[in-house]
Structure formats: C-alpha cells, structure tokens
Amino acid sequence: MEYTKPLARLIEYFQKLPSIGPKTAQRLALYVIKMSENEVNNFANALLEAKEKISYCSNCFNMSSNNPCEICTDNTRNKGLICVVAETKDLMAIEKTNEYKGLYHVLQGLISPIDGIGPDDIRIKELLYRINQNDIKEVILALNPSVEGEATTLYLHKLLKPFNIKISRIAFGLPMGSELEYADEMTLLRAIEGRVAI
C-alpha cells in the first residue's frame, strides 16, 4: 500500500528519530493527524524554536538557550567542582538525582579510535583551559563503563594528574535493587574491586 503523500512524508520524518521504528512512526503520524490544528501548530513551533534558540554553553558545552548556561551562572553551585560527562543527556541524568551541586563539563563525545575520534575531537582542551583559569579543587569523571568511557577516563586521568587537584571517578558496581545472583561477571568483579570499608 502507498500512504497518501503528506502522511508518507511525516512517517518518514518520525522514523528518522532514534528508537522510532516504522510501526511507531505510523502510529505517531496518525496521532498527529487526529490532534487539533492548534496543537500541531504548537508542536511544529516547539521544534523550530528549540532548534533556533538552543545552542552550546561556551564554558561547559551543555545545551542551553543561554550562554553561559543556567548551571555555569548559578551562584549557589560549588564552582571548584567539575563533573566531566560525555553528553548532555548524562548531565541531565545526574541533575535528576538533585544531589550534585558542582559544575559540569560536557565532552561532546568519547575517545574512540575505531570511529576515528581522538582526544582533539572532543572538548578536552577546553576542560584543561577551565582548570587552568579557575580555582578548581576536584574533577569527577562520570563516563560510561564502556571501552570508550574507560579509555577516555584513563586519558583524562593522565592529563589531569599534574594539576595537583583531586581526581575521582564514579563508582561501578551492583545497581540498587538488583540481585547478586544475576549480576554479570564484569559488574561483580568491579563491585569487589571497588569494595569500601564499613
């Protein structure tokens, strides 16, 4: 069957989004057609406005409609503490804990030789510049426990050592609510290696 043209195009655009397959794209498109004209206009405007107004903070490379971003200009935050993450979505995940009150640095990627991404392709220079220019006391490395995350963590650790600041990394181990019996070997190994005195 051929979809009627404007429907086919809308389905195609939904399908370009991550984690949206053909069936979901069809469902979303049909839903849009049943929405009121006003709602569809607002949705289209939200898309355009987000794209137009949001850019990257020139200090920490977080996504924001302000530059510097809301986090960098928040005076209640500890300006001596930087948490290094790979992407804005990781920053958002940490913000949702509502506990961390320092600044961030978004690398906008991880070192990945296989994908041709080297240290110069992500925001490492900018991190060193911040540490040089500001009175930073501690850097927390909060990168994914993947090959790329580990490689980037090691690389950053080597680079940051000479600065004589505290460098830490987030803990890896059993997730809360999980069962030891079902944990994979690597996680269990990390949990044992990372054991803390009680």
Our CB check for a second copy shows the closer of 44 and 188 to be 44
**Which residue lies nearer to a second copy by CB, 52 or 193?**
52
CB-based burial label for 128 (10 Å; 0-12, 13-18, 19+): middle
What's the min distance (Å) between Cβ of 181 and a second copy?
Answer: 26
C-alpha distances out from residue 123 to 42, 49, 83, 173, 187, Å: 35, 26, 13, 28, 29
**Residue in the block written with tokens 């355009």:** 48
3-state per-residue secondary structure call for 149-185: HHHHHHHHHHHHHHHCCEEEECCCCCCCCCCHHHCCH
Residue with Cβ nearer a second copy (2 or 193): 2
Residue 70 or residue 115: which is nearer to a second copy going by CB? 70
Least separation in angstroms between residue 78's CB and a second copy is 16
Sites of contact with a second copy (CB under 8 A): 1-7, 9-10, 12-13, 16-20, 24, 26-33, 35, 37, 39-54, 63-66, 69-70, 88-89, 92, 95-96, 98
Q: How far is the CB of 195 from a second copy (least distance, A)?
A: 31
Q: In angstroms, what is the minimal distance from the CB of 65 to a second copy?
A: 5
Check: CB of residue 104 under 8 Å from CB of residue 79. no
